[in-house]
Amino acid sequence: MESIAREIKGSFHWYPVQKTFSIVSAKDTLKFAVGIPYMTRNGRTIDLSAAPELDNGHLWIAENDAKKISSKVAAVPGTKNETAQAKANETAPAKPAAKPAEQKPAQPVVVKPKAPKQEIAGTREVRTIVIDPGHGGKDPGASGKKSQEKDIVLAVAKLLRKNLADEGFNVKLTRSKDVFIELRQRAMLANQWDGDLFISLHCNAIDASEERKKIIQGYQFYVLRAPESEEDKAIARRENAVATLYGEKNAKDELSPLEWFKLEARLEQYKQTSYLFTEKLLDSFDGGKIKKMSTGVGGAGFMVLVGAMMPAVLIELGFISNEEDEAYMMSKAGQQDLADRIAQAVSKYKDAVHTYRETLGR
């Protein structure tokens, strides 16, 4: 693979944790995963005759696949690729001296903005907010000494709905009663409503000694990405366990490498805006009664976020296993404060997207 990268004048990138690798050339971004018999080229899937293999510190690909890749990519004439190269410039290798600017216009790269309705969530104006109170019905979620997760998140969701509706947002709840809804169904509802932002509300919990429960507390925001720590992985597993516990079809508590790979292009589409919303949440949660847990932002394979075709964030409001956090999340004042802070973040997010659109002249 390294020699193919050289041949097509692309830069080679290896991600050891995910066992994936990519080659970024002037025109193309090719992505591969060890053990998976297909690749993506600029986000589109292409079958390979065999899965790439890792052997002796080198990555290998079947000869006919290699030929296919180098002929397709190398066939691109060099001079027309400045714009694409600029796009890939963080990772691109030393490029030949730039051509004078007048020679560039041949490249038909400028895509006219689509009509507002066809714009994807995250780039269009923010109007519809989908609030997803986690768990419900036969699934209580995590339990504290005096409360259950499903009740707290529903109460906060309803207050948040009121706040956002008052500010003129179109607000949808995946559930507004104590009913059970499958994880996958929640994102499907959000897609049907053509949401601009998906907010899944949860309470964190640990199963540990009373001593530890006293120490472990705080809020945290999660986006869908490959987990980088065992803690994040464990939290996703706990939230995902709903599906296996309550008999959802094809339920599992972790995404396979293949599923991550399939998701990659879509995740890329909503990554920046999902993180943008977590930034606004970090700002508005700062100084509240419940403290921030570690960096405040984590990522893992939350099933409830997988299907959402829009920026999506899962909020762990606090630890229901911690007495202080639980008391605050149970109190009317605490619930209102949490709803106010989330609503404030949504408004700031909306403004940020609007400003971004203005800089693009939309």
Q: Residue 72 contacts by C-beta under 8 Å, 6 or more apart in sequence? A: 41
CA distances from 92 to 6, 14, 18, 186, 264 (A): 12, 14, 21, 40, 20
CB closer to Zn ion, 172 vs 202 = 202
The CB-of-34 to Zn ion minimum distance in angstroms stands at: 33
Question: Can you say whether the dihedral through the CA atoms of 235, 240, 246, 247 is positive or negative?
Answer: negative
The CB-of-186 to Zn ion minimum distance in angstroms stands at: 12
List, in sequence order, the alpha helices (H) in the chain: 2-7, 63-74, 82-87, 149-166, 183-192, 210-215, 230-245, 257-285, 303-306, 323-330, 332-359
Distance CA 156, CA 328 (A): 12
Distance CA 54, CA 19 (A): 9
Residue owning tokens 């790979």: 261
Of 44-52, 105-113, 192-200, 238-246: span binding Zn ion (CB under 5 A): 238-246
CB closer to Zn ion, 226 vs 317 = 317
Query: Which residue of this chain has its Cβ atom nearest to Zn ion in the complex?
Result: 202
- Please pick, from the candidates 31, 124, 161, 202, the single residue that binds Zn ion as defined by CB under 5 A: 202
The CB-of-242 to Zn ion minimum distance in angstroms stands at: 7
Q: Which residues from 70-129 bind Zn ion, rule CB under 5 A?
A: none
The CB-of-201 to Zn ion minimum distance in angstroms stands at: 8
Of 32-40, 78-86, 135-143, 163-171: span binding Zn ion (CB under 5 A): 135-143
Distance CA 153, CA 200 (A): 9
The CB-of-203 to Zn ion minimum distance in angstroms stands at: 6
Residue 195 interacts with Zn ion (CB under 5 A)?
A: no
CB closer to Zn ion, 222 vs 349 = 222
Count of residues touching Zn ion (by CB under 5 A): 4
C-alpha 271: how far from chain center: 5
Of 28-36, 137-145, 211-219, 227-235: span binding Zn ion (CB under 5 A): 137-145
Q: Residue 318 contacts by C-beta under 8 Å, 6 or more apart in sequence? A: 203, 204, 217, 218, 219, 290, 325, 326, 328, 329
| C-beta contacts of 161-166 below 8 A and 24+ residues apart | 161/131, 162/339, 163/339, 163/340, 163/342, 163/343, 164/129, 164/131, 164/343, 164/346
Which residues share a beta bridge with 314?
A: 200, 222
CB closer to Zn ion, 73 vs 320 = 320
CB closer to Zn ion, 151 vs 239 = 239
Residue 134 interacts with Zn ion (CB under 5 A)?
A: yes
Of 6-14, 30-38, 90-98, 201-209: span binding Zn ion (CB under 5 A): 201-209
CB closer to Zn ion, 85 vs 204 = 204
Q: Which two tokens stand for residue 65?
A: 């696949």
Residue 298 interacts with Zn ion (CB under 5 A)?
A: no
150 neighbors 217 (Cβ within 8 angstroms) = no
Of 176-184, 235-243, 271-279, 330-338: span binding Zn ion (CB under 5 A): 235-243
The CB-of-194 to Zn ion minimum distance in angstroms stands at: 25
The CB-of-154 to Zn ion minimum distance in angstroms stands at: 12
What secondary structure letter does DSSP report for 26?
Answer: S
The CB-of-30 to Zn ion minimum distance in angstroms stands at: 38
Residue 141 interacts with Zn ion (CB under 5 A)?
A: yes
Instruction: Summarize as ranges the residues that interact with Zn ion (CB under 5 A).
Output: 134, 141, 202, 239
